Protein backbone atom coordinates (compact mmCIF):
# COMPACT_ATOMS: atom_id res chain seq x y z
CA UNK A 1 0.00 0.00 0.00
CA UNK A 2 1.48 3.32 -1.02
CA UNK A 3 1.65 5.72 1.83
CA UNK A 4 0.66 9.19 0.77
CA UNK A 5 -1.12 10.05 4.00
CA UNK A 6 1.52 12.49 5.13
CA UNK A 7 1.95 14.45 1.95
CA UNK A 8 -1.44 16.09 2.06
CA UNK A 9 -0.68 18.09 5.18
CA UNK A 10 2.72 19.48 4.22
CA UNK A 11 2.80 23.23 3.80
CA UNK A 12 5.03 26.25 4.15
CA UNK A 13 5.96 27.50 7.60
CA UNK A 14 3.71 30.37 8.71
CA UNK A 15 6.70 32.16 10.17
CA UNK A 16 9.69 31.78 7.81
CA UNK A 17 7.75 30.56 4.74
CA UNK A 18 10.15 27.67 4.15
CA UNK A 19 8.77 24.36 2.90
CA UNK A 20 8.21 22.02 5.81
CA UNK A 21 9.15 18.35 5.50
CA UNK A 22 6.80 17.46 8.37
CA UNK A 23 3.65 18.93 9.84
CA UNK A 24 3.57 21.17 12.91
CA UNK A 25 7.22 21.91 13.58
CA UNK A 26 9.22 23.91 11.01
CA UNK A 27 12.56 22.24 10.37
CA UNK A 28 14.06 25.58 9.42
CA UNK A 29 13.05 27.97 12.22
CA UNK A 30 11.43 25.50 14.65
CA UNK A 31 8.26 27.56 14.81
CA UNK A 32 5.20 25.71 15.95
CA UNK A 33 2.69 25.79 13.09
CA UNK A 34 -1.09 25.54 13.43
CA UNK A 35 -2.58 22.09 13.80
CA UNK A 36 -4.37 21.08 10.59
CA UNK A 37 -7.95 20.19 11.38
CA UNK A 38 -7.88 16.86 9.56
CA UNK A 39 -4.67 15.37 10.91
CA UNK A 40 -4.76 11.89 12.39
CA UNK A 41 -2.36 10.63 15.07
CA UNK A 42 -0.07 8.93 12.54
CA UNK A 43 0.26 12.13 10.54
CA UNK A 44 0.76 14.11 13.72
CA UNK A 45 3.67 11.89 14.73
CA UNK A 46 5.08 11.76 11.19
CA UNK A 47 4.53 8.01 10.87
CA UNK A 48 3.11 5.90 8.04
CA UNK A 49 -0.47 4.84 8.69
CA UNK A 50 0.15 1.19 9.52
CA UNK A 51 0.10 -1.14 12.51
CA UNK A 52 3.81 -1.89 12.59
CA UNK A 53 5.58 1.29 13.51
CA UNK A 54 9.05 2.15 14.70
CA UNK A 55 8.58 2.83 18.40
CA UNK A 56 11.94 4.59 18.63
CA UNK A 57 10.91 7.09 15.95
CA UNK A 58 7.58 7.58 17.72
CA UNK A 59 9.32 8.25 21.01
CA UNK A 60 11.80 10.68 19.51
CA UNK A 61 9.01 12.55 17.74
CA UNK A 62 7.07 12.67 20.98
CA UNK A 63 10.02 14.16 22.85
CA UNK A 64 10.65 16.77 20.14
CA UNK A 65 7.05 17.84 19.78
CA UNK A 66 6.48 17.82 23.54
CA UNK A 67 9.46 20.04 24.09
CA UNK A 68 8.38 22.53 21.44
CA UNK A 69 4.80 22.62 22.63
CA UNK A 70 5.48 22.62 26.35
CA UNK A 71 3.68 25.51 28.11
CA UNK A 72 6.89 26.58 29.90
CA UNK A 73 8.57 26.97 26.54
CA UNK A 74 5.89 29.47 25.46
CA UNK A 75 5.29 31.25 28.77
CA UNK A 76 6.44 34.59 27.33
CA UNK A 77 4.59 34.24 24.03
CA UNK A 78 1.44 35.84 22.70
CA UNK A 79 -1.81 34.26 23.96
CA UNK A 80 -2.62 32.74 20.57
CA UNK A 81 0.77 31.02 20.39
CA UNK A 82 0.33 29.77 23.94
CA UNK A 83 -3.10 28.45 23.07
CA UNK A 84 -1.70 26.70 20.00
CA UNK A 85 1.08 25.17 22.09
CA UNK A 86 -1.46 23.83 24.55
CA UNK A 87 -3.60 22.35 21.79
CA UNK A 88 -0.58 20.70 20.21
CA UNK A 89 0.71 19.41 23.55
CA UNK A 90 -2.65 17.79 24.29
CA UNK A 91 -2.88 16.25 20.82
CA UNK A 92 0.71 14.97 21.02
CA UNK A 93 0.08 13.37 24.43
CA UNK A 94 -3.07 11.67 23.20
CA UNK A 95 -1.37 10.51 20.00
CA UNK A 96 1.56 9.08 21.93
CA UNK A 97 -0.70 7.36 24.45
CA UNK A 98 -2.66 5.79 21.60
CA UNK A 99 0.15 4.80 19.26
CA UNK A 100 2.68 3.56 21.80
CA UNK A 101 0.28 0.88 23.07
CA UNK A 102 -0.28 -1.88 20.48
CA UNK A 103 -3.86 -2.59 21.56
CA UNK A 104 -4.89 1.07 21.47
CA UNK A 105 -2.98 1.58 18.23
CA UNK A 106 -4.76 -1.35 16.58
CA UNK A 107 -8.20 -0.14 17.64
CA UNK A 108 -7.46 3.38 16.48
CA UNK A 109 -6.06 2.25 13.13
CA UNK A 110 -8.97 -0.12 12.57
CA UNK A 111 -11.50 2.69 12.88
CA UNK A 112 -9.32 5.01 10.81
CA UNK A 113 -9.44 2.42 8.02
CA UNK A 114 -13.23 2.31 8.22
CA UNK A 115 -13.48 -0.77 10.43
CA UNK A 116 -16.19 -1.26 13.06
CA UNK A 117 -15.95 -0.03 16.66
CA UNK A 118 -16.48 -2.60 19.41
CA UNK A 119 -19.91 -1.11 20.08
CA UNK A 120 -20.94 -1.93 16.50
CA UNK A 121 -19.33 -5.34 16.21
CA UNK A 122 -19.16 -7.32 19.44
CA UNK A 123 -18.20 -10.64 17.90
CA UNK A 124 -15.26 -12.69 19.14
CA UNK A 125 -13.50 -15.69 17.58
CA UNK A 126 -15.53 -18.91 17.84
CA UNK A 127 -15.31 -20.64 21.22
CA UNK A 128 -13.49 -17.73 22.78
CA UNK A 129 -16.16 -16.81 25.34
CA UNK A 130 -16.25 -20.43 26.49
CA UNK A 131 -12.52 -20.36 27.14
CA UNK A 132 -12.87 -17.01 28.87
CA UNK A 133 -15.63 -18.31 31.13
CA UNK A 134 -13.52 -21.31 32.10
CA UNK A 135 -10.55 -19.09 32.87
CA UNK A 136 -12.74 -16.76 34.91
CA UNK A 137 -14.04 -19.71 36.95
CA UNK A 138 -10.50 -20.89 37.62
CA UNK A 139 -9.51 -17.35 38.53
CA UNK A 140 -12.34 -17.13 41.01
CA UNK A 141 -11.36 -20.44 42.60
CA UNK A 142 -7.75 -19.28 42.84
CA UNK A 143 -8.85 -16.02 44.43
CA UNK A 144 -11.11 -17.70 46.97
CA UNK A 145 -8.39 -20.21 47.88
CA UNK A 146 -5.73 -17.46 47.84
CA UNK A 147 -3.69 -19.82 45.70
CA UNK A 148 -0.75 -17.74 44.53
CA UNK A 149 0.69 -20.48 42.33
CA UNK A 150 -2.60 -20.95 40.50
CA UNK A 151 -2.91 -17.21 40.04
CA UNK A 152 0.59 -17.00 38.59
CA UNK A 153 -0.16 -19.86 36.22
CA UNK A 154 -3.43 -18.23 35.07
CA UNK A 155 -1.67 -14.93 34.56
CA UNK A 156 0.79 -16.70 32.30
CA UNK A 157 -2.06 -18.33 30.35
CA UNK A 158 -3.72 -14.94 29.88
CA UNK A 159 -0.49 -13.24 28.83
CA UNK A 160 0.19 -15.96 26.28
CA UNK A 161 -3.34 -15.60 24.99
CA UNK A 162 -3.03 -11.82 24.71
CA UNK A 163 0.27 -12.07 22.85
CA UNK A 164 -1.19 -14.66 20.48
CA UNK A 165 -4.15 -12.42 19.72
CA UNK A 166 -1.89 -9.44 19.12
CA UNK A 167 0.24 -11.53 16.77
CA UNK A 168 -2.79 -12.35 14.68
CA UNK A 169 -3.85 -8.69 14.71
CA UNK A 170 -0.40 -7.85 13.35
CA UNK A 171 -0.72 -10.54 10.68
CA UNK A 172 -4.22 -9.41 9.69
CA UNK A 173 -3.10 -5.80 9.31
CA UNK A 174 -0.17 -6.97 7.17
CA UNK A 175 -2.58 -8.99 4.97
CA UNK A 176 -4.76 -5.94 4.62
CA UNK A 177 -1.81 -3.88 3.43
CA UNK A 178 -0.44 -6.55 1.14
CA UNK A 179 -3.46 -7.03 -1.09
CA UNK A 180 -5.72 -4.50 -2.73
CA UNK A 181 -8.77 -6.58 -1.94
CA UNK A 182 -12.30 -5.95 -3.11
CA UNK A 183 -14.52 -4.05 -0.69
CA UNK A 184 -16.30 -7.18 0.62
CA UNK A 185 -13.01 -8.92 1.41
CA UNK A 186 -11.67 -5.77 2.98
CA UNK A 187 -14.71 -5.45 5.25
CA UNK A 188 -14.31 -9.10 6.21
CA UNK A 189 -10.64 -8.49 7.08
CA UNK A 190 -11.55 -5.44 9.16
CA UNK A 191 -14.22 -7.52 10.91
CA UNK A 192 -11.67 -10.22 11.73
CA UNK A 193 -9.34 -7.64 13.25
CA UNK A 194 -12.24 -6.38 15.36
CA UNK A 195 -12.93 -9.95 16.56
CA UNK A 196 -9.34 -10.37 17.72
CA UNK A 197 -9.33 -6.96 19.39
CA UNK A 198 -12.61 -7.68 21.18
CA UNK A 199 -11.02 -10.87 22.49
CA UNK A 200 -8.02 -8.86 23.67
CA UNK A 201 -10.39 -6.62 25.67
CA UNK A 202 -11.68 -9.61 27.61
CA UNK A 203 -8.19 -10.92 28.28
CA UNK A 204 -7.01 -7.50 29.39
CA UNK A 205 -9.92 -7.17 31.81
CA UNK A 206 -9.07 -10.54 33.37
CA UNK A 207 -5.42 -9.58 33.62
CA UNK A 208 -6.33 -6.34 35.38
CA UNK A 209 -8.14 -8.39 38.03
CA UNK A 210 -4.93 -10.26 38.76
CA UNK A 211 -2.99 -7.11 39.51
CA UNK B 1 -23.05 7.06 41.25
CA UNK B 2 -24.33 4.60 43.86
CA UNK B 3 -26.34 1.64 42.68
CA UNK B 4 -30.01 1.33 43.32
CA UNK B 5 -31.05 -0.86 46.31
CA UNK B 6 -32.43 -3.56 44.04
CA UNK B 7 -29.11 -3.86 42.23
CA UNK B 8 -27.30 -4.16 45.54
CA UNK B 9 -29.78 -6.76 46.74
CA UNK B 10 -29.24 -8.94 43.64
CA UNK B 11 -25.50 -8.34 43.83
CA UNK B 12 -25.25 -9.33 47.50
CA UNK B 13 -27.81 -12.13 47.33
CA UNK B 14 -27.71 -13.34 43.74
CA UNK B 15 -30.59 -15.65 42.84
CA UNK B 16 -30.00 -18.83 40.90
CA UNK B 17 -26.27 -18.52 40.65
CA UNK B 18 -24.64 -21.67 39.38
CA UNK B 19 -24.49 -24.09 36.48
CA UNK B 20 -26.45 -26.90 34.92
CA UNK B 21 -25.22 -29.69 32.69
CA UNK B 22 -24.44 -28.01 29.39
CA UNK B 23 -24.66 -31.30 27.51
CA UNK B 24 -28.16 -32.14 28.75
CA UNK B 25 -30.78 -32.06 26.05
CA UNK B 26 -33.30 -30.14 28.12
CA UNK B 27 -30.79 -27.43 29.04
CA UNK B 28 -30.15 -24.40 26.85
CA UNK B 29 -26.96 -22.41 27.45
CA UNK B 30 -26.21 -18.88 26.36
CA UNK B 31 -22.75 -17.40 26.75
CA UNK B 32 -22.35 -13.76 25.82
CA UNK B 33 -19.85 -11.02 26.48
CA UNK B 34 -19.41 -7.28 26.20
CA UNK B 35 -15.99 -6.37 24.79
CA UNK B 36 -16.28 -2.75 25.96
CA UNK B 37 -16.24 -3.75 29.62
CA UNK B 38 -14.93 -7.32 29.45
CA UNK B 39 -17.99 -8.80 31.17
CA UNK B 40 -18.81 -12.45 30.46
CA UNK B 41 -22.23 -13.90 31.23
CA UNK B 42 -23.52 -17.46 31.13
CA UNK B 43 -27.24 -18.07 31.44
CA UNK B 44 -28.89 -21.49 31.34
CA UNK B 45 -32.50 -22.60 31.17
CA UNK B 46 -34.04 -26.01 31.81
CA UNK B 47 -37.19 -26.59 29.80
CA UNK B 48 -39.80 -29.29 30.47
CA UNK B 49 -41.78 -31.27 27.87
CA UNK B 50 -44.52 -28.70 27.69
CA UNK B 51 -42.03 -25.96 26.80
CA UNK B 52 -42.03 -24.28 30.19
CA UNK B 53 -38.83 -23.10 31.85
CA UNK B 54 -38.53 -24.93 35.14
CA UNK B 55 -35.11 -23.77 36.16
CA UNK B 56 -32.71 -20.97 35.28
CA UNK B 57 -29.12 -20.46 36.36
CA UNK B 58 -26.52 -17.82 35.68
CA UNK B 59 -22.87 -17.13 36.18
CA UNK B 60 -21.64 -13.63 35.46
CA UNK B 61 -18.16 -12.25 35.66
CA UNK B 62 -18.64 -8.54 35.54
CA UNK B 63 -19.92 -5.46 37.29
CA UNK B 64 -22.73 -5.25 39.84
CA UNK B 65 -25.28 -4.19 37.25
CA UNK B 66 -24.46 -7.15 34.99
CA UNK B 67 -24.75 -9.56 37.91
CA UNK B 68 -28.04 -8.00 39.03
CA UNK B 69 -29.50 -8.00 35.50
CA UNK B 70 -28.72 -11.68 34.97
CA UNK B 71 -29.90 -12.61 38.46
CA UNK B 72 -33.19 -10.80 37.89
CA UNK B 73 -33.55 -12.38 34.44
CA UNK B 74 -33.28 -15.91 35.87
CA UNK B 75 -35.92 -15.12 38.49
CA UNK B 76 -38.19 -13.76 35.83
CA UNK B 77 -37.66 -16.71 33.47
CA UNK B 78 -38.86 -19.45 35.81
CA UNK B 79 -42.35 -20.63 34.97
CA UNK B 80 -42.41 -18.82 31.63
CA UNK B 81 -42.92 -20.53 28.29
CA UNK B 82 -40.13 -20.23 25.73
CA UNK B 83 -42.23 -17.77 23.72
CA UNK B 84 -42.79 -15.58 26.76
CA UNK B 85 -39.10 -15.81 27.62
CA UNK B 86 -38.17 -14.71 24.12
CA UNK B 87 -40.10 -11.51 24.68
CA UNK B 88 -38.03 -10.40 27.65
CA UNK B 89 -36.73 -6.93 26.92
CA UNK B 90 -33.63 -5.36 28.35
CA UNK B 91 -35.64 -2.22 29.06
CA UNK B 92 -37.77 -4.15 31.56
CA UNK B 93 -34.67 -5.30 33.43
CA UNK B 94 -33.12 -1.83 33.29
CA UNK B 95 -36.35 -0.25 34.53
CA UNK B 96 -36.83 -2.73 37.37
CA UNK B 97 -33.23 -2.20 38.54
CA UNK B 98 -33.30 1.55 37.82
CA UNK B 99 -30.03 1.25 35.94
CA UNK B 100 -28.29 4.51 35.04
CA UNK B 101 -27.69 5.15 31.31
CA UNK B 102 -24.04 3.99 31.45
CA UNK B 103 -25.21 0.60 32.74
CA UNK B 104 -27.99 -0.03 30.23
CA UNK B 105 -25.65 -2.22 28.19
CA UNK B 106 -25.50 -4.66 31.13
CA UNK B 107 -29.23 -5.28 30.74
CA UNK B 108 -28.73 -5.69 26.98
CA UNK B 109 -26.16 -8.36 27.77
CA UNK B 110 -28.70 -10.20 29.95
CA UNK B 111 -31.30 -10.07 27.18
CA UNK B 112 -28.72 -11.40 24.69
CA UNK B 113 -27.87 -14.23 27.10
CA UNK B 114 -31.54 -15.22 27.43
CA UNK B 115 -31.97 -15.21 23.64
CA UNK B 116 -28.78 -17.25 23.17
CA UNK B 117 -29.94 -19.82 25.76
CA UNK B 118 -33.33 -20.16 24.03
CA UNK B 119 -31.62 -20.60 20.65
CA UNK B 120 -29.30 -23.22 22.08
CA UNK B 121 -32.23 -25.16 23.53
CA UNK B 122 -34.15 -24.93 20.23
CA UNK B 123 -31.12 -26.13 18.32
CA UNK B 124 -30.74 -29.14 20.59
CA UNK B 125 -34.41 -29.99 20.44
CA UNK B 126 -35.14 -29.20 16.82
CA UNK B 127 -36.53 -31.94 14.62
CA UNK B 128 -33.83 -33.20 12.19
CA UNK B 129 -35.36 -31.29 9.28
CA UNK B 130 -35.22 -28.05 11.20
CA UNK B 131 -31.68 -28.53 12.40
CA UNK B 132 -30.08 -27.30 9.20
CA UNK B 133 -32.24 -24.19 9.27
CA UNK B 134 -31.45 -23.51 12.92
CA UNK B 135 -27.74 -23.87 12.23
CA UNK B 136 -28.00 -21.47 9.31
CA UNK B 137 -29.85 -18.98 11.47
CA UNK B 138 -27.23 -19.22 14.13
CA UNK B 139 -24.42 -18.67 11.66
CA UNK B 140 -26.23 -15.63 10.34
CA UNK B 141 -26.52 -14.29 13.87
CA UNK B 142 -22.89 -14.75 14.77
CA UNK B 143 -21.82 -12.69 11.78
CA UNK B 144 -23.77 -9.59 12.72
Residues of A with CB under 8 A from a CB of B: 118-119, 122-124, 126, 129-130, 132-133, 136-137, 140, 197-199, 201-202, 204-206
Q: Helices then strands (H, E): number in chain A?
A: 7, 0
What pLDDT score does B128 carry? 62
Question: Any CB–CB contact under 8 A between B138 and chain A?
Answer: no
Which residues of B are catalytically annotated?
37, 106
Minimal C-alpha gap between B61 and chain A (Å): 7
Write out chain A residues lying below 8 Å of B143, CB-based.
Answer: 123
Query: Parallel, antiparallel, or unpaired: how do β-strands B39-47 and B53-61 relate?
Result: antiparallel
Closest CA to A210 of A130, A138, A104: A138
Question: Any CB–CB contact under 8 A between B52 and chain A?
Answer: no
What letter does residue A1 receive in the DSSP assignment?
Answer: -
**A97-144 confidence digits (pLDDT tens):** 999 999 999 999 999 999 999 889 999 999 999 999 999 999 999 999
Burial of B11 (0-12, 13-18, 19+ CB in 10 A): middle
Instruction: Verify whether the Cβ–Cβ distance A198 to B143 is below 8 Å.
Output: no
Instruction: Verify whether the Cβ–Cβ distance A201 to B35 is below 8 Å.
Output: yes
The beta-carbon neighbor of B33 closest among A126, A129, A137 is A129
Tell me the pLDDT of chain A (211 aa) as tens digits.
Answer: 444 444 445 578 888 888 888 778 888 888 888 877 778 999 999 999 999 999 999 999 999 999 988 888 888 888 888 888 888 899 999 999 999 999 999 999 999 999 999 889 999 999 999 999 999 999 999 999 999 999 999 999 999 999 999 999 999 999 998 877 688 889 999 999 999 999 999 999 999 988 7
Closest CA to B94 of B108, B80, B84: B108
The backbone torsions φ and ψ at residue B58, rounded to the nearest 5 degrees and listed phi first, read: -140, 160
Distance CA A73, CA A200 (A): 40
The continuous run of DSSP H or E covering A104 comes out as helix A102-112
Instruction: Verify whether the Cβ–Cβ distance A122 to B59 is below 8 Å.
Output: no
Assess whether pLDDT exceeds 50 at residue B144.
Answer: no
Contact between residue A121 and residue A107 where contact means Cβ atoms under 8 Å apart: no
Write out chain A residues lying below 8 Å of B38, CB-based.
Answer: 201-202, 204-206
The b-or-e profile of A79-113 (16+ CB within 10 A means b, else e) is: eeeeebbeebbebbeebbebbeebbebbbbbbeeb
Could you give the angle at the alpha carbon of A128 between the alpha carbons of A134 and A168, nearest 5°?
Answer: 130
Tell me the C-alpha to C-alpha distance, in Å, between residue A113 and each of A50, A126, B89. 10, 24, 34
Give the DSSP letter string of A22-66.
SSSB-TTT-PBPPPPTT--HHHHTT--SSSS--HHHHHHHHHHHH
Distance CA B61, CA B38 (A): 9
Q: Cβ neighbours of residue B102 under 8 Å, at least 6 residues apart?
A: none
Q: Where along chain B do its domains lie?
A: 5-143
Best CATH choice for the domain B5-143 from the list 1.10.620.20, 3.50.50.60, 3.90.1010.10, 3.40.50.12780: 3.90.1010.10
Tell whether ipTM is more than 0.85.
Answer: no
Per DSSP, the three-state class of A81 is helix
The beta-carbon neighbor of A132 closest among B33, B36, B144 is B33
Amino acid sequence: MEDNTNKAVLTKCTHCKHEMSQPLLCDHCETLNPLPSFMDFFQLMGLPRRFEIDLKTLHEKYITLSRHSHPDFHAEDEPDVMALAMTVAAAVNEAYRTLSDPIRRAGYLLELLGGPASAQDKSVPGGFLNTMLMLQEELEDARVAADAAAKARLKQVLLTQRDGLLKSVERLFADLEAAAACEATRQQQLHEIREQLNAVSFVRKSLSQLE
Amino acid sequence: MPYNEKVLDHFNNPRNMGSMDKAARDVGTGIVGAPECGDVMKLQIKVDDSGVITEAKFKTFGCGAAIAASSLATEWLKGKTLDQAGELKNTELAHELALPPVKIHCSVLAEDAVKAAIEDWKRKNAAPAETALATEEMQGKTKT
